[in-house]
Chain A
Amino acid sequence: MGMTVSEKILARASGRDKVQPGEIVKAEVDLAMMPDLTTILSFKAMKEMGVDRVWDNEKVVIFLDHVAPASSLQAATVHRDIRKLVSEQGLKYFYDVNSGVCHQVLSERGHVTPGMLVVGADSHTCTHGAMGAFATGVGSTDMGAVLATGRLWFRVPETIRVEVEGSLQHNVQPKDIILKIIGLIGADGATYKAVEFSGETIRKMNISGRMTLCNMAIEMGGKTGIVEADDETANFLSNRCKTNINPIRSDLNAQYEKVLRLDVSELEPQVACPHKVDNVKTVSEVAGVKVDQVFIGSCTNGRYEDLEVTAKILRNKQVHPGVRLVIVPASKEVYLKALKNGIIETLLQAGALVSNPSCGACFGGHIGILAAGEIGLTTSNRNFKGRQGSPEAEVYLSSPATAAASAITGVITDPREV
């Protein structure tokens, strides 16, 4: 019996020829990533294990991104302590508050290559499956063990393969595909499993879209999302890292727990309604719902391609007077490119607010918090009660195109109509 790409990566990392779903393996981690919120706890766990220094100062990458720059005394203190840790530990890679969201920057700066085993002390670490890596989020005790030893135990997951065929209609986006899939599989339908995205639509999709898909694997309970590396991946990485790209693919006779086939040629834009990510409806079912704030950004949809489609829709138009449009580029690279190509100017002209790269409004940290009774539409990944401010606010999730179209009209709007 063959192996899936996830099984191959875990087998390689644990020094075996073969692994099977359900088995527990001890594996060598290739890269460990931490954002500001969990770094201190993870290092504390490492020290409690009796270890003073990280196992490899070139394999640990730290970001200050969730509250960046610091907006409270508490955040400023955490950031100060992390900067001190970074220099004490002699860590080679550290991204301070001017860099952007950890998941965007980690891949963009070429830290992740196909076949790697990546762990992050953040649940959306699964985003890096877009590079053909096995990437998963862990808690702080787990991260402590990785910092101390470079190793961790893993249960080899079963794989759900999702095969996507067909071309998307104008202004229907990868986000609509993943919302549709989450609606079908459910918020716990992929618990403990790897979700492998494949099929013609994925092969033609750029890295930005693949990152959007993999990012939301955790919203179905998944351990990782993963797309087999191909020419697109190699292209993306060509100027970003020095290593040779060595794509790993699933065997033809690999075993899947389930195969889901989806034809997206007729797919309508999708919206996840309050307060669950799997409460997914088509845009026509919720069209007309009034919105107070639209947020375009996050590790799900704050990339250049997302700002580009937003600017296309907003060009020579105005944001509805009753709406605050908050745009947060996911990284400095995204911001600079958008600036150079006139996209930021278009967005500002249209009445948007553009903030510095960070997690921004995504988790109600410090930019664009919703008040009780307000309705937010966001391109991020979670609409849990209270995630973006007041527990009495309501949050809808959509693609950047739907978000941009809705910012103009002030109500949830089908982007195919603008």
Chain B
Amino acid sequence: MRIKGRAWKFGDDVNTDLIIPGKYLELTDPIEMAKHAMEGLSPIFAARVKPGDIVVGGRNFGCGSSREHAPLALKYSGVGAVLAESHARIFYRNAINIGFPALECPGIAKSVEDGDELEVDLKEGIVRILDKDIWLKFIPLPEFMIRILDSGGLTAFLRFNMKEWLEK
């Protein structure tokens, strides 16, 4: 699974309120949520983000509330993946569970600049910064999590692979 797009760079401790402000939590349609993605940090993000673009964060990306709105807003805005130095635990789980790749890639924050073209290979665990010809490695997601992502999330994965999930 490869993802290619432009980097949108943000800093450390990007919390769920910045990803989607609390006043939109009553929204239930992820496409509506996406219209407010990253509103707390960037007034232009939701309008300009293109399918496959990649959000780059520093430490503790997604900290704060446990609601699934935050990864949903990013996923439905078209973002292909979020790469960060580290992710907050519940955001990370929620992201994978809704079929949105959240990856931890040490060194990413200082190597990538806003607007760089990136290509991510999920299976190999490699990020290429295309213009600079820099390669960064991250610990690839285990096979089974890649399959959850491929299915579009844990709900769909279980719907179609229940038998296998129940085996040892």
Q: Contact: B165 with A191, CB < 8 Å?
A: no
Q: Mark B41-82, 1 if CB is under 8 A from A, else 0.
A: 000000000000000000110010011100000000000000
Asked if A26 and B144 sit within 8 Å, CB to CB, the answer is yes
Map CB proximity to B onto A23-66 as digits: 1 under 8 Å, 0 otherwise. Answer: 01010000000000000000001001111000000000000000
Contact with B along A11-23 (1 / 0, CB 8 A): 0000100000010
Asked whether, in the complex, the Cβ of A50 is within 8 Å of the Cβ of B86, the reply is no
Q: Are B139 and A22 in contact (CB under 8 A)?
A: yes
State whether A145 and B89 are in contact (beta carbons under 8 Å apart), knowing that A123-B66, A153-B145, A221-B63 are contacts in the complex. no
A192 B89 Cβ-Cβ under 8 A: yes
| Contacting pair B94 A49 (CB below 8 A) | no
Contact, CB under 8 Å: A153 / B155: no
CB of A2 within 8 A of chain B? Answer: no
Task: Assess the B93–A139 pair: CB atoms within 8 A.
Answer: yes
Contact assessment for B159 and A191 in the assembled complex, using a CB-CB cutoff below 8 Å: no
List residues of B (80-123) whose CB comes within 8 Å of A's CBs: 86-90, 92-94, 97-98
A395 sits at the interface (CB 8 A): no
Q: B159 contacts which of A48, A141, A142, A151 (Cβ < 8 Å)? A: A48
Give the residues in chain A near B142, CB-CB below 8 Å: 24
CA distance A68 to B87 in the complex (A): 34
Which B residues are in CB contact (< 8 Å) with A145? 97, 154, 158
Report the separation of the CA atoms of residues A235 and B152 in the bound assembly, to the nearest whole angstrom.
47
Distance to closest chain A CB from B7 (angstroms): 23
Known contacts A24-B142, A123-B90, A149-B158; is-contact A141 B63 (Cβ 8 Å): no
The CB with the most chain A CB atoms within 10 A, among B67, B86, B89, B158, is that of: B89
Q: How large is the interface on A (under 10, 10 to 19, 20 to 34, 35 or more residues)?
A: 20 to 34
Contacts of A153 in B (CB 8 A): 144-145
**A50 — nearest CB in chain B belongs to which residue?**
B159
CB neighbors of B among A95-116 (8 A): none
Which residues of B sit under 8 angstroms from A123, Cβ to Cβ?
66, 90
The answer to whether the Cβ of A368 comes within 8 Å of any Cβ in the partner chain is no
The answer on a CB contact under 8 Å between A50 and B88 is no
A68 shortest CB reach to chain B, Å: 21
Q: Confirm or deny: A144 has a beta carbon within 8 angstroms of a beta carbon on chain B.
A: yes
Q: Which residues of B contact A22 (CB under 8 A)?
A: 139
Given A139-B68, A144-B155, A191-B88, A151–B59 Cβ distance below 8 Å? no
Whole-angstrom CA separation of A191 from B59 in the bound complex = 10
Residues of A within 8 A of B88 (CB): 188, 191, 221
Which residues of A in the span 137-169 have a Cβ within 8 Å of any Cβ on B? 137-142, 144-145, 148-149, 151, 153
CA distance A192 to B92 in the complex (A): 10
A188 engages B159 (CB within 8 Å)? no
- Asked if A210 is at the interface of the complex by the 8 Å CB criterion, the answer is no
Query: Considering residues B13, B90, B142, which has the most beta carbons from chain A within 10 angstroms of its beta carbon?
Result: B90
List 18 A–B pairs whose Cβ atoms lie within 8 Å, in order of A's numbering: A22-B139, A24-B144, A26-B144, A48-B159, A49-B158, A50-B159, A51-B162, A138-B93, A139-B97, A141-B97, A141-B155, A142-B154, A144-B154, A148-B158, A187-B63, A188-B59, A191-B89, A221-B89
**Which residues of B approach A to under 8 Å, CB–CB?**
13, 59-60, 63, 66-68, 86-90, 92-94, 97-98, 139, 142, 144-145, 153-155, 158-159, 162, 165-166, 168
The 6 nearest A-B residue pairs measured at CB:
A49-B158, A141-B97, A188-B60, A50-B159, A24-B142, A139-B94
